[in-house]
């Protein structure tokens, strides 16, 4: 009788049970006051005693956008009125996506003291990192609104092209619909990117905690993926000069997350394929994240 009871109770006490993984996620999301405070405190600590505080992020992003946008608009023979917002929004979106990946790797190692002193769910530390990146994104959006105020007339124009030629010109670039109500599609786009960022940060944080050689390797891969995302070079130029070869860029999973957020923000033609790919990748990432959390959550405090 006692053996039967112990056999039935063993799975419930198993640290690798699905119920404990789900409970960690549930408690982690419910502890929004904790990870919200920790994430905001990270931003405050980084810019403590500075004149502008966190708004230095906006200044840095604005200067980077102005410099890269102006130079590369000359290189690619694109009007600054369309290319500078294109570069700026791309950098803003990439800063969020890339930050979730690169900073996500250190979610547990940077919180070693908290892991040792508190019994908070592991999900809290991942959400802290992603929330910090969300706050950075909010500050960088100031740059977007400045770009919108400067170049709204051009971006709102129906049928604008990245090369400045009239829409429908033989051999011309893609004609974009212009800013309109489609701009609100950035909300579900951000939701997909946020969900994917949480899952990816969960996976990478476990890998980076177990294998300390992983962060440099993953960082190099992220840099390579950045080069393959059309941020400082126009995707329309690739489509025009190498028709049928855009699939090479579409193999980059981060390309689709950038597109579903940038296209609505600057009124570009929506590629629904990117939305389907991003949704599929997010679902797959969460499946892997749940498996990783189930199998390794009990070992993380020892690895740290």
Tokens representing 272 are 């629904």
Mean pLDDT of 285-296: 93
User: pTM, whole model, 2 decimals?
Assistant: 0.90
Tokens representing 164 are 């400045």
Q: Is residue 3 part of a domain?
A: no
Mean pLDDT of 202-211: 93
Q: Is residue 2 part of a domain?
A: no
* Confidence class for position 13, pLDDT limits 50, 70, 90: low
Distance CA 283, CA 26 (A): 18
Mean pLDDT of 276-295: 95
Residue pair 156/179 in contact (Cβ under 8 Å)? The answer is yes
At 83-103, the pLDDT tens digits run 999 999 999 999 999 999 999
| Share of residues in the chain with pLDDT > 70 (%) | 95
* Confidence class for position 14, pLDDT limits 50, 70, 90: low
Residue pair 127/34 in contact (Cβ under 8 Å)? The answer is no
Cα distances from 7 to residues 10, 14, 23, 303, in angstroms, run 5, 11, 22, 30
Listed in sequence order, the residues at least 6 apart from 190 whose beta carbon sits closer than 8 Å to its beta carbon are 261
Q: Is residue 85 part of a domain?
A: yes
Residue pair 297/18 in contact (Cβ under 8 Å)? The answer is no
Structural domains in the chain (count): 1
Identify the residue with better confidence: 245 or 13: 245
Residue pair 292/108 in contact (Cβ under 8 Å)? The answer is no
∠219-40-213 over CA atoms, to 5°?
Answer: 20
Judged against a pLDDT cut of 50, whether residue 172 lies above it is answered with yes
Q: Is residue 5 part of a domain?
A: no
**Which range has highest mean pLDDT (20-24, 72-76, 186-190, 243-247)?**
186-190
* Confidence class for position 144, pLDDT limits 50, 70, 90: very high
Helix count (H) and strand count (E) of the chain? Answer: 14, 0
* Confidence class for position 297, pLDDT limits 50, 70, 90: confident
* Confidence class for position 15, pLDDT limits 50, 70, 90: low
Distance CA 119, CA 109 (A): 16
Mean pLDDT of 45-63: 84
Q: Residue holding tokens 């440099």?
A: 216
Judged against a pLDDT cut of 50, whether residue 6 lies above it is answered with no
Distance CA 139, CA 43 (A): 11
Residue pair 202/140 in contact (Cβ under 8 Å)? The answer is no
Judged against a pLDDT cut of 90, whether residue 265 lies above it is answered with yes
Specify the DSSP class assigned to residue 185. Answer: G
* Confidence class for position 3, pLDDT limits 50, 70, 90: very low
Q: Is residue 178 part of a domain?
A: yes
Q: Residue holding tokens 């960690």?
A: 24
Lowest mean pLDDT among 146-155, 167-176, 294-303: 167-176
Domain that holds residue 159: 18-303
**pLDDT at position 50, please?**
73
Listed in sequence order, the residues at least 6 apart from 161 whose beta carbon sits closer than 8 Å to its beta carbon are 82, 167, 169, 172, 173, 174, 175, 176, 236
Q: Residue holding tokens 């990870």?
A: 35
Judged against a pLDDT cut of 60, whether residue 12 lies above it is answered with no
Average pLDDT, the chain: 88
């Amino acid at each position: 009788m006692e053996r039967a009871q112990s056999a039935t109770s063993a799975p419930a006490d198993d640290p690798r049970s699905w119920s404990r993984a789900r409970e960690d996620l549930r408690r982690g999301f419910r502890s929004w006051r904790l990870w919200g405070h920790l994430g905001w405190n990270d931003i405050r600590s980084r810019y403590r005693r500075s004149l502008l505080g966190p708004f230095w992020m906006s200044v840095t992003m604005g200067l980077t956008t102005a410099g890269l946008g102006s130079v590369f608009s000359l290189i690619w023979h694109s009007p600054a009125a369309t290319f500078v917002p294109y570069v700026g929004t791309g950098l803003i979106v990439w800063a969020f996506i890339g930050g979730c990946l690169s900073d996500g790797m250190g979610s547990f190692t940077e919180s070693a003291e908290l892991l040792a002193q508190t019994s908070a769910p592991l999900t809290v530390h991942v959400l802290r990192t992603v929330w910090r990146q969300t706050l950075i994104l909010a500050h960088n959006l100031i740059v977007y609104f400045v770009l919108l105020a400067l170049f709204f007339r051009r971006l709102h124009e129906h049928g604008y092209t990245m090369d400045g030629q009239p829409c429908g010109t033989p051999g011309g670039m893609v004609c974009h619909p212009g800013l309109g109500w489609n701009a609100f599609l950035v909300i579900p786009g951000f939701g997909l990117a946020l969900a994917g960022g949480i899952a990816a940060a969960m996976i990478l944080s476990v890998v980076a905690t177990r294998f300390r050689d992983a962060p440099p390797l993953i960082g190099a891969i992220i840099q390579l993926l950045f080069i393959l995302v059309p941020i400082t070079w126009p995707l329309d130029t690739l489509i025009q000069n190498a028709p049928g070869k855009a699939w090479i860029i579409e193999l980059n999973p981060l390309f689709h997350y950038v597109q579903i957020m940038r296209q609505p923000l600057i009124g570009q033609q929506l590629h629904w394929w990117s939305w389907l790919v991003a949704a599929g990748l997010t679902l797959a990432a969460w499946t892997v994240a749940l498996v990783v959390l189930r199998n390794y959550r009990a070992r993380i405090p020892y690895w740290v």
